[in-house]
Amino acid sequence: MQRGYSWSLIGVIAACGSDGTGSTPIPPDAATTNSYVKSGVAFIVPRLPVLDGLLPFLLNPGSPGAAGIQFGPDPTPGAPPNSYVFAIPFDGNGDGVKETTVTGRGAFSDLPSNAGVGFGGHIDADMQTATGVGDFSGSLDFTFTAAGAALSGSGTFTDAVTGNSTTLTISSGAPLVIKPATGTGSSMANACAYSLNGPVKLDASGPKGSLSSLWTFASNQKAVSVTNATHTANGGTVTNLPNASVVIPCGGGSVSDWVGVFRQHWACLPPEFGQADLTFTVAAASTVSISDDDPPGSGDINVYQATAVDGNAHMIRGFFIGGTAGSTYREDFTWTLAPSGTSVALSSRYVYQQGPSTGSGGLCGGIATRMP
């Protein structure tokens, strides 16, 4: 892929959570509720990059990777300027089947094709799973800043199987800032591929009672601080839980799981799209080498390396230099291998290093499918 950025605005609100219990024993009902929330975050957060890989296709409707995605002007009478409706099918559990759909509408401060620093808006979204596992509904306000995307709003996931309901709330007075994690001091990975900074309020309720807690992310720390955690049993018993420092689990696997050839569909903003064949090989214990033939069969091959995120060999970060002499760009990326090993979600950001466009760039995403 010759270009991108992290765009998971909706997904982050749906995915935060953990037990926040420390090592102190707690009542069984509280432990059950905490365990439910912790298992949910371990499943959802590593899969958020799938949305990153799909969203740039919204503004590249003619590209092969945009198949099944719907995005167009909001037909509602009286809808404000730059309002759109969308439907995005995607593979939420990594088994190769698009069983999940996110639908909604958004009103933006400018044309989405002009998204950059200062761009923002409001989004209302719903997520349904084809298997009836549960539903998510939420709203958020966002603004792209030089430091990342600043988010506020709330969202609720209702689990049809357990009867649990989980609500995340981010105050407009203290927005959550999200940016791609680079592993540097001010951009540590504290939500798998992402570096978050700011407070998030978590409220979970179900057959075993309710749990309320405050999660505070710091972009220079891998662990998340969980405070003000209180469990209220259905009988009214209130238990104050100890403060905790929690590291969000991000999966596992081995870098050898990447080995193979993948056909990539990529899309970028400003709008452009294309294809490439990516050949992955193991370069070292935590490093993979990528041979990028863009477009497929062209012989225009760029070879570069990526390093696995700490604790998750299925998520790699790296960069490459592309473009022509006198107009090169640097593209930094985060790529995530699906649990099934059949596809890769791709997101990145590029910045021109030379020529009249120096300092400017764009955002990209993509999906790559393993070839036989």
Beta bridge partners of 262: 278, 370
Distance CA(64)–CA(296), nearest Å, equals: 14
Average confidence (pLDDT) over 51-78: 81
Distance CA(78)–CA(80), nearest Å, equals: 6
Per-residue pLDDT for 23 more than 60? Answer: no
- For residue 143, give every residue at least 6 positions away whose Cβ sits within 8 Å of its Cβ, in sequence order, or none: 118, 119, 120, 149, 150, 175
Question: Are the C-beta atoms of 277 and 301 separated by less than 8 Å?
Answer: no
Asked whether residue 317 is assigned to any structural domain, the reply reads yes
The lowest-confidence range among 40-54, 84-98, 152-166, 194-208 is 40-54
Asked whether residue 2 is assigned to any structural domain, the reply reads no
| Domain at 336, CATH number | 2.40.128.20
Asked whether residue 3 is assigned to any structural domain, the reply reads no
Same domain, 131 and 217: yes
Same domain, 105 and 184: yes
E-strand spans in 8-133? Answer: 70-73, 83-90, 100-108, 120-129
Range of the domain at 283: 255-370
Asked whether residue 119 is assigned to any structural domain, the reply reads yes
* Dihedral Cα 198, 215, 44, 71, nearest 10 deg: -40
Same domain, 192 and 74: yes
Question: For the segment 88-116, what is each residue's pLDDT rounded down to a tens digit?
Answer: 887 766 666 777 788 889 999 988 777 77
Per-residue pLDDT for 362 more than 60? Answer: yes
Question: For the segment 143-174, what is each residue's pLDDT rounded down to a tens digit?
Answer: 888 778 899 998 888 877 777 888 889 999 99
The pLDDT value recorded for residue 4 is 34
Structural domain count of the chain: 2
Last residue of a domain, one of 215, 246, 277: 246
